[in-house]
């Protein structure tokens, strides 16, 4: 089977759904606890990555916040991917390209859900138009994985509610 057919097959099997609502399992406060060591190429260095540790991302029904940056009424897409689909879609093709898989991220299930929040480009983190929290992999009910600039961060559900923007 050619690579083109494989990608077409994967696209049909993992069709994304879109809405304006943040999925219920993501709503609440999440504190970024650590940078996950991976084999990826990033537009960030250690200094930029460390600044994300300890910050909080807040998700409500129709928006999300990181620091003082609020993204309201964005288009939210969710997609369930198998471990194989994730590796194919998020890893590069050459020996020097990024390589990422569920094992590196500590995901032990056969599939996981990715939540992507579309928003206008923002230049708040340097080197990227992303806002931390706009790409999320749901690991379990108390742990999510954020991807920013092709680096992966683990965030844990916060027990205490913090006001958005703090």
Could you write out the three-class secondary structure of 45-107? CHHHHHCCCCCEEEECCCEEEECCEEEECCEEEEEEEEHHHHHHHHCCCCCCCCECCHHHHCC
pTM: 0.80
Q: How many CA atoms lie within 13 A of 82 on its CB side?
A: 8
What the block records as the tokens of 34 is 């650590």
- Where do the domains of the chain lie? 3-157
Cα radius of gyration (the chain): 16
CB 118 within 8 A of CB 75: yes
- State residue 5's pLDDT score: 42
DSSP summary character for residue 3: H
| pLDDT tens profile 9-62 | 444 445 567 677 899 999 999 999 999 988 877 777 777 788 899 999 999 998
Per-residue pLDDT for 4 more than 60? Answer: no
Place of tokens 């991807």: 147
- State residue 113's pLDDT score: 96
Q: What is the mean pLDDT of the chain?
A: 82
């Amino acid at each position: 089977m050619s690579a083109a057919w494989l990608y077409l097959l994967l696209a049909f099997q993992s069709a994304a759904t879109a809405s304006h609502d943040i999925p219920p399992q993501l709503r609440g406060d999440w504190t970024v606890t650590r940078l996950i060591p991976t084999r990826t190429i990033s537009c960030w260095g250690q200094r930029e990555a460390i600044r994300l540790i300890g910050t909080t991302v807040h998700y409500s029904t129709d928006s999300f916040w990181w620091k003082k940056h609020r993204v309201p009424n964005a288009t939210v897409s969710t997609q369930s991917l198998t471990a194989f689909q994730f590796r194919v879609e998020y890893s590069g093709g050459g020996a020097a390209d990024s390589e990422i898989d569920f094992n590196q991220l500590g995901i032990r299930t056969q599939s996981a859900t990715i939540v992507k929040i579309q928003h206008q480009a923002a230049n708040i983190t340097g080197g990227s138009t992303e806002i931390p929290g706009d790409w999320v992999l749901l690991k379990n009910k108390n742990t999510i994985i954020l991807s920013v600039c092709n680096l992966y961060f683990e965030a844990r559900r916060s027990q205490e509610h913090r006001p958005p923007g703090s």
